[in-house]
Structure formats: C-alpha cells, structure tokens
Structure 1
Amino acid sequence: MEVLRGRVHFFPFLTHSTYFSIRARASFKVQQENDPFFQAAIERASLRFRESHSPDPLLIDPYVGCLLPCNSLEDMDQELHPYCLATKFIDDKLLETMQSTDGLKQVVLLTDGLDTRPYRLNWPTSTLVFDICPDKVFRGALQKLQDAGAKIPRGCMSFHVPSESFDVENILCSKGFSGTRPSIWAFQN
C-alpha cells in the first residue's frame, strides 16, 4: 500500500464478515445469461456463496444468494478458491485502511456489478462508496439486493457510476467524489 497525491492505493485481496446468509434466489433476464461479463460476475458471486456456506468460512456474504440464479448453485465444492482468499484480504485491507487513515472517507470500487461490499462491510460513518460497474448488471443486482433488505451502513452513502461511460471522472465528481481528498480504490478480478 502506498499514498500518492493524497490517495491510498493498494493491490486487492479480501475480508471477513459475521453476517448471516440470505438464501433468496433470483433469475436475471435471459439476455444477460449470454453476456460473458455477466457470466463472469455470476461465477465470482457463486464462489462467495460457496465460501459463505462452507463449514469454516473465510468470509460470509449475507446477500450474495439473492443475486444468483438457482441453477448456479449446483455442484458446490467446499474447496477454498483463491478468489475468496483475495476477497477476504481486500475486505480487511479496505476496512483497516479506512480506520487508520485520517480523513479517508471515499472508497472507489471497480466491480462486476454483483459486488456486495457496499452493503456487507461495516464502513466507518460518513464513508462515500462509489461503485464503478456495468450499468445493466448493477440495475438488476440493486433491485435484488433491495428486495433482500440489504442496506448501506447508517451514515454512509453509495453511488453507482456506469463503467460504460466515457466520462467516469466527471460522473464521479458529479456524485460527490473529490480528487483533492484522500480516497482508496480497489479492483478485484
């Protein structure tokens, strides 16, 4: 991790949560099932779901179940996947850095649209979470998360920025991001 021009940067890896899992299932539209970006997002969400339901979970994602189509839960092996280890490291590093860095109130997540970090992590009060992700995937996920009762922690705010935009920087700024204040950015592939 290093600080460059008031911004905290680190290489992504993940965190542990103590929430209970919501086992609701949802199906997304058929056109998304043929989208390779959506399929990759479903695969990553399935890994988080499997880890959350393993006998000794490294992380617990209480909301991921509502994002998965029923057929994605077949053949659940209990082997720890490197993606889950990375998720745990990134989660821990985000929260640790937020707690230990004065004035750090901005988090920018570059996600696949099915990332539940804005809802499942216990962000410090006044944290602004900016989720840069595919708009089509985000819109479907947002409705499913709201239906499952997922909420941003009290005193925090979350903003979606469509990754398809050619002007992400201006959209970020229009939603309240300030390049003159410290921020932490995370990307997990």
Structure 2
Amino acid sequence: MTELGAVERTAFLTAALRAAETQRADRLYEDPFAAALAGDIGPSLLAEIRAVTFPATAPRTLPSTPDYNAIRTRFFDDWLLASVESVPRAQVVIAPAGLDSRAFRLKWPSDVTVFEVDRPQVLAAKQELLGAATPSVDRRTIGADMVSDSWTDELVAAGYDPDRPSVWLLEGLLYYIPESAVHRVLDSVASVTAPGTLVAADVVNSDALVLPQMRGLLDVFAGWGCPWRFGTNKPEALFAGHGIEAVAVQPGEPSADFGRWPDPVPPRTDTGVRRVFFVHGRRFPS
C-alpha cells in the first residue's frame, strides 16, 4: 500500500465511516466501494473515534462523528447532483478527492466531467484499493498539492476550462490547514472559476478549536499528527472575501438533518459553542 501522510490517513477514517453507514438499515446513502477504500487501517481509526465519542462509563459530550459524516456525505451528494443539473456540461472539481467514491457511485448526467485533485500518493493508493472498478462518469485525476501554487495549472492541463462555470466541492480540507493556506486555496479557486460557478465546503467555527468539551476529539486528531488548525465564526464573510456569495448551514437545521442529527442546534447568536458549517454559494463577477 502506498504510504500516506497524517492528514491523508484520515481519508481511511472517512471511508470506514461510509462503510459503516452503508451497513445501517436507516442509511442515508449507499457506498459499495467504501469497505475496500477503508483498507486495513480505516476500521481501527474508526474504533478509536467511537471510543472517545461514545465512552462506556460516561454520557456522550462530543459530536457524533458517525451521524455527522452521514449527514455531510448525503448533503453534499444532493448538492452536487442538483448543481450539475443547473450548470450545462458541468465540470465538477472534487478537491481534495481523498478516498471519495462519488465519481463511481453517483448517477451523473452523461455530459459531466469530474476532476479529482489530490497528492499523487493519495490517488495512487486510491487506484490500488479500487482495483478494476469503473467510474460512472468521465473522471480525470490531477496529482498535485493544493497548498502549492501550480495545481490549478495542472487542472487546466487536464482539460478543465476556467472560462466556463463549474462546480467545486472542498470537503474535509479547510480545518486541517493554517489560515494563510485557507486563503491561498480559496484564492486559487477564484483564479480559475468563472462567474456562476458553484462552490461548497465544510468548515468548523473558531470555538470548536479551543472549547474544553472538544478536547477529546481534538486530541485524537492531534495524536494522529493532523490537528485542526483553522475555524471561522463567519463563514459567509470568509467566502465573500474570495468572490463567493454563500450561505452556511449547520447539521441539524432543516436542510441538513435527514432525521439523524442527535443534538440541539445552537442559534448563530450563541457564543462559546462548537459548530460545523456546510457552506455553499455562487461565484460572483469580480
């Protein structure tokens, strides 16, 4: 198996979460590729997360990672499929792609192209795990580091047209990188997207990085070598600063619940609480 870095190893956790969701009778989606993509390491990472999230001798105080992941996956599945219906000959960019299987499991319109961007070693590991699986869409892979300055050039070289509106998903990325890198990534997206492009991402709030009741989960990720580094209490303003008029939805709100979010949803006016945001919006003219 190709050796991956600390942050990239969390892709195995995400695949294991998708495999576990697929086994549920009340599953929010089905991913027939997830178990293979989780590899040998994914189940052990998931067991560690479950142990800290659902302690045997105390009530749960951390957010439910399995429910969150299920909602996030379903929310962005639905968002992607709705978005490509509104963008002719849609170019979909999934960046970073990690061990995401949407190019294989979603029912895409025939004129869609999906570009997957991630480091070469991640794409190599993914190909090894998928074996002979066939994508359900025109899939093109771009082996590049999104924190570098040249990855957008490689995207264009793979056939992406920056002069046409596109659809972008930045999932499982922004909270793992420093604030300067967040702005650099969003600047790069802005540099190769036409007005009308649709963009979505997930991000945590600033409080989630420092609250004592989050320490158990934060310590697990830090122990794996991939601490959470960035959060924002103003996600709409963050994206507006990079040319994207967006709205932010919290898991458990009507459009991001699917009957699975187990905790109260704090009003945006409340301070000192943990939040996750699903941000989605449209690129406006410069």
Query: What's the TM-score bracket when you normalise by the shorter of the two chains?
Result: 0.7 to 0.9
Measured in 1, the distance between the counterparts of 2:33 and 2:79 equals 21
SS of the equivalent of 1:139 reads helix
Partner of 1:98: 84
Partner of 1:85: 71
Measured in 1, the distance between the counterparts of 2:93 and 2:8 equals 21
Q: Is 1:51–1:58's contact at 8 Å kept on the other side of the alignment?
A: yes
Partner of 1:122: 107
Q: 1:157 aligns with which of 138, 150, 167?
A: 138
Following TM superposition, by how much is the alpha carbon of 1:63 offset from its aligned partner in structure 2, in angstroms? Answer: 0.5
Partner of 1:176: 159
Partner of 2:29: 59
Which AA in structure 1 matches 2:168? W
Q: Is 1:104–1:181's contact at 8 Å kept on the other side of the alignment?
A: no
TM-score, normalised via structure 1 length: 0.73
Distance 1:180 1:81, change over 3 A: same
Q: Is 2:39–2:129's contact at 8 Å kept on the other side of the alignment?
A: no
TM-score, normalised via structure 2 length: 0.49
Following TM superposition, by how much is the alpha carbon of 1:94 offset from its aligned partner in structure 2, in angstroms? Answer: 0.5
Partner of 1:140: 125
- 5+ residue gaps in structure 2? 51-63, 173-286
CA RMSD, 1 decimal = 2.2
Tell me the alpha carbon deviations over residues 130-183 of structure 1, each in whole angstroms, 9 at most, x when there is no partner: 1111210111111321x2x42122xx3111112325311211111110011120
- 5+ residue gaps in structure 1? 1-27
Of all paired residues, the percent bearing the same amino acid is 25
Which AA in structure 2 matches 1:91? D
Which AA in structure 2 matches 1:50? A
Measured in 2, the distance between the counterparts of 1:50 and 1:87 equals 13
Which AA in structure 2 matches 1:162? G
Measured in 1, the distance between the counterparts of 2:87 and 2:170 equals 22
Distance 1:72 1:113, change over 3 A: closer
Task: Please say which structure displays the higher CA radius of gyration.
Answer: 2
| Count of equivalent residues | 154
Partner of 1:18: none
Partner of 1:41: 11
Report the more deviating stretch, 126-135 or 159-168: 159-168
Q: Is 2:89–2:111's contact at 8 Å kept on the other side of the alignment?
A: no
Partner of 1:72: 42
Following TM superposition, by how much is the alpha carbon of 1:73 offset from its aligned partner in structure 2, in angstroms? Answer: 2.7
